Structure 1
Amino acid sequence: MKETILESLFKIEVDFNVKILYAVESGSRAWQFPSKDSDYDVRFIYVHKKEDYLTIDQMGIGKKRDVIELPINDLLDITGWELTKTLRLFRKSNPPLMEWLRSSIVYYQAYSTIDQMKQLSEDIFAPNSCLHHYLNMASNNFREYLQGEEVRIKKYFYVLRPVLAARWIEKYNEFPPLEFPKLLEDILPDGELKKQIQTLLIRKINGEELDFEPKIGIINHFLDEEISRLRKYTESLNVNIPDFTPNLDMLFRKTLEEVW
């Protein structure tokens, strides 16, 4: 499958006249709870030629899109962000981007830009924005999928993972790992709650069709309480992050020089 992904990426470079800096897996495979029919969620960062930036219309304005998206099929979902868009989001500690930088499934990496971003990421990490992101994700999925007597069982993972990620931030004041088993092992003590979650995880990885089943009371109770508690914790934080714009401007210029 990696060969197919790389072929798609190299075709993008030719079709759009760009250079790809980095491409990773970002979905359930990176989170280590894929189903047997999970697709591949490929995310990449790319840069245009120098002259494409030296115009009166900045990237992202009008026809100058700052995103490349291939048509989604049953197996592949490929989306990329242009570098200036990426760095503006990076400046705000954008959680999806921070996850890309920590993915253990790297399909492609070229040039030094990504290594420099990884070095900056610890300092640029903003716990407030990341906590809000994960708690909003958890709240929305909990409200939409896990109410009522019967629920879509597989959706537990899409609430548990952001809740455990938020707990990691609270515990360590650092960006959490992507891998769900690592979060689960570190954050939750041994006991019935952890046992129930581990059982679900085994079922999902083994390819069981986790559709509508009776809700799991102990997990619902944990999620309801933790989302409320973590909301209050997040509101109590007052963290000031330095402005990294000059560093990121320099990184952008150096990338153009290195790539082109």
Structure 2
Amino acid sequence: MSPEDYNYITKFLLETTGLSLGENKEYLLEARLIPLAQTHGMNGIQDLVLSLKSKKDPSLEKEIMEAMTTNESSFFRDRRPFDELKANILPELIAERKMTRKLRIWCSACSHGQEPYSIMMLLRENYPELNDWNIQIISTDLCKKALERAHEGVYSQFEVQRGLPVQLLMKYFDQCEQGWKIKPELGAGIQWKHLNLLEDFRHLGIFDIVFCRNVLIYFKPELKKNILNRVSSQLNSSGTLLLGAAETVLGISDKYTKQTGCQSAIYKLAGNSLANPIAR
């Protein structure tokens, strides 16, 4: 791969997805894009770049974006945030929403769906009083293929063994030829939507909880700030933001403060009485 082709693709990815590859990631581009080029009858990266420059095939742009998206997830990933959701966040929200009996949760970058399904199982197992509430989980991702798989809800034996307790597997899944399939009733409250975080997402509405985990680590600081600030406008005044274990708002956005009593990357909106100012 020539330096010119590498620079062209990395610039394209930065502008369209926010993905910042930096230098010396030729191996990653080749591993993911050469197979894509071959499916289009091309010889390699050079032909792919020429086609991309010609702008004759808009679908190719989307295929490249999706090929470079990291769709890594597991059930109850990094278990502690789910424990803190159960122990600290949900009890407060349920008490506040007991009159409206409605909760809205956004899972951004939901990948193959393990995160929203994990949230739904947590609600079913620990809060039976919510069974007659209006619970909406909006799950979005840049990759349409990942969303299709998430909506289908079929997982291999390896995937269900990553973080999913066996009692939940037996209760909420049915065995199928490919492995295990989510029971329809568990997915009934989940909506799957294609979304690029670089684009306007105000149409999604206001949320009580936003999961934006393990996606911002791929973005440059100025883009992280932009997304975090826009997410803050989608949160209820007492809403909660959950980031990945390696992510923080510190030094990036002043819209948030750390959630009291939580050790994970969990934040409230700045000025909320349930939060503690972030040490600077």
TM-score class normalised by the smaller sequence = under 0.3
TM-score, normalised by the number of residues in structure 1: 0.25
Larger proportion of helix: 1
